[in-house]
Chains A and B, each alone.
Chain A
Amino acid sequence: MKATVLVRPKPGILDPQGEAVGSALGHLGFDVRDARVGKVIDLELEAADAAAAKAEVEQMCERLLANPLIESYEVEIVG
């Protein structure tokens, strides 16, 4: 089973990296109103089915992959 985890800085948390990227895109002439930078984590795991895999990856997010105080996460089971 493959899973993709998206980790984002929570709304309201200042993301200076996103701001720097947004401003660099502005310098290139792109009209960017907002940019936020997160992380992608690709996993391969053993699980009975997609639901079990999702539950397990969510556990991983809560316990390690994301810091719930500052980051939100999204889990996608790729199959």
Chain B
Amino acid sequence: MARPQPRIGVVTYPGAQDDRDALWALGALDADAVPVWHEEQELPDLDAVVLPGGFSYGDYLRCGAIARFSPATAAVREFAEAGGLVLGICNGFQILCEAGLLPGALVRNESLRFVCRDVRLTVERNDLPFTGRCTAGQRLVMPVKHGDGRYLAPPDLDESQVVLRYLDNPNGSVDGIAGVCNEAGNVMGLMPHPEHAVDPLLGSDHGALLLASLVDAARERALATI
């Protein structure tokens, strides 16, 4: 039987920068990557959604605070609440936190400086749709590029929701947290950029492990609905 190509949407907000890289990376990993404009009231038929990095609506007030009200975000919320797979990268992570789909908040880096460099990460959980191709405790190298990436956890954050941690904390995040998931495990956000690390030519292809995990999980869902 032919392997179906899972359809993964990538939402473009005004100010998004990494939507094209995300589309390209997902396509290279054998997904049917579909651009979704921020004004869309409804999502097309999708097996997963990626909210990419960059900026959104000027990031006025707080990063992601305005994007939370865009029509596409409302559709993504519905998709997530129905159990759909949603991955937020960088600004996408900030949007998911502001929308209340992920716990916590992302604030100005402790250093007050924009950081743009490769960081080392540890995988805390490999039983998620976003980390299935990783091993627990695996070390990954991926770039970060953000000014507001310091993760602040709510007091009641369950340790099991921490998916990735920095080995060398670049922004002052609480407990070195680089990526978290919701309680159900179908929504994840991370500050590092897997879509910029999908080929050794780019310095690392470890991002492909995370994105290919998502493609695998989305494919399983696509198969289940045939």
**What is the interface of chain A, defined by CB distance below 8 A to chain B?**
13-14, 16-17, 20, 64-65, 67, 69-70
Nearest CB of chain A from residue B156's CB, rounded to whole Å? 11
In the complex formed, the residue of A with least CB distance to B152 is A70
Decide if B107 touches A70 in the complex (CB within 8 Å). yes
Asked whether A20 and B98 contact (CB < 8 A) given A14-B172, A64-B61, A69-B104, the answer is: no
Which of A14, A17, A65, A67 counts the most B-chain CB atoms under 10 A from its CB? A67
Contacts A70-B105, A70-B107 given; does A16 touch B112 at CB 8 Å: yes
Interface residues of B (CB under 8 A from A): 61-62, 65, 98, 104-105, 107-112, 152, 154, 172
B110 / chain A contacts, CB cutoff of 8 Å: 14, 16
The answer to whether B104 touches A67, judged by C-beta atoms less than 8 angstroms apart, is: no
Interface pair B105/A67, CB less than 8 Å apart = yes
Q: In the complex, what residue of chain A is closest to B107 when comparing beta carbons?
A: A70
Chain A: which residue is nearest B68 at the CB level? A64
**A2 CA to B109 CA, complexed, in Å:** 34
Please classify the interface of chain B as helix (H, G, I), strand (E, B), loop, or mixed, using the class held by over half of its residues. Answer: loop
A79 to B91, CA, bound (A): 38
Tell me the nearest residue of chain B to A65, going by C-beta: B61
Chain A residues with CB below 8 A from B154, complex form: 69
Q: Kindly list chain B residues whose C-beta atoms are within 8 Å of the C-beta of A16.
A: 108-112, 172
What separation, in Å, do the CA atoms of A64 and B67 have in the docked complex? 11
Top 7 closest A-B pairs, CB basis?
A: A69-B105, A70-B105, A16-B112, A16-B110, A67-B105, A70-B152, A69-B154
A13, A17, A67, A70: the one within 8 Å of B112 (CB): A17
> Least Cβ distance of A22 to chain B in Å?
13
Which B residues lie within 8 Å of A14 (CB)?
A: 110, 172
Q: Which residues of A contact B61 (CB under 8 A)?
A: 64-65
Which residues on A sit within 8 Å (CB–CB) of B62? 67
Q: Are A20 and B112 in contact (CB under 8 A)?
A: yes
Q: Return B9 CB to nearest CB of chain A, in Å.
A: 26
Bound complex: CA of A65 vs CA of B108, how far in Å?
17
Q: Is the CB of A13 within 8 A of B152?
A: yes
27 contacts between A and B (CB under 8 A): A13-B107, A13-B152, A14-B110, A14-B172, A16-B108, A16-B109, A16-B110, A16-B111, A16-B112, A16-B172, A17-B108, A17-B112, A20-B112, A64-B61, A64-B65, A65-B61, A67-B62, A67-B65, A67-B98, A67-B105, A69-B104, A69-B105, A69-B152, A69-B154, A70-B105, A70-B107, A70-B152
